[in-house]
Amino acid sequence: MWLFMAFLLVPLIEIGLFIQVGGLIGLWPTLLIVVLTAVLGTYLVKAQGARAMNDLRRSFSQLEDPSEPLAHGAMILVSGALLLTPGFFTDAVGFALLAPPVRVAVFRWLRKRVTVTRFQMGGQMGGQFSEGRPGGQPGAQPPRHPASKDVIDGEFTEMPSGKSPTHPGSGWTRH
């Protein structure tokens, strides 16, 4: 129901604001403002998006919880869509979402309403974890970690040393 109300109210608000602003400053200045906010918004979204991507990469490389950088990136994406949509109300909301303090406040508000039941970085692939046991199997042991960080466990397949004559090559390497 709230989505229907948004689709109904936002265009009505935008039409009303266009009429008011256009009546105050005229048609061409109003259209110029709309175009300039889209161009400025695009530049700011690009800069903020690059910063959000760097924060996300940093959280992954330091094995931190990536939920906040992901949320910031999603809000910047929504901000970009709002700034490209012609209108004064959508531009105001879009520019507000570009401000980091506003995004932090929205993230905190969302965090109170969303419950994460389990978050794990690493571990084994393909199994659901319940009651702390991989795959939910009674008595199953958690994944073992190597005693030394120098040990890498993996599988390999030996490949023939020469290229077959039918191999066209990728163009990315020299042989």
Specify if 84 maps to a domain: yes
What pLDDT does 122 receive?
63
Residue 160 falls inside a structural domain: no
Per-residue pLDDT at 119: 63
- Position 127 in a domain: no
- Give the bridge partners for 134, in sequence order: 129
pLDDT at 132: 45
Range of the domain at 78: 10-113
63 occurs within a structural domain: yes
How many structural domains are present in the chain? 1
Asked if residue 142 belongs to a domain, the reply is: no
- Has residue 46 been placed in a domain? yes
- Spans in the chain with pLDDT lower than 50: 126-137
Identify which of 43, 51, 112, 38 has the alpha carbon closest to the alpha carbon of residue 82.
Answer: 38
pLDDT at residue 25, as a whole number:
93
- Crossing angle (nearest 10°) for helices 27-61 and 67-84: 160
Please report whether residue 14 resides in a domain.
yes
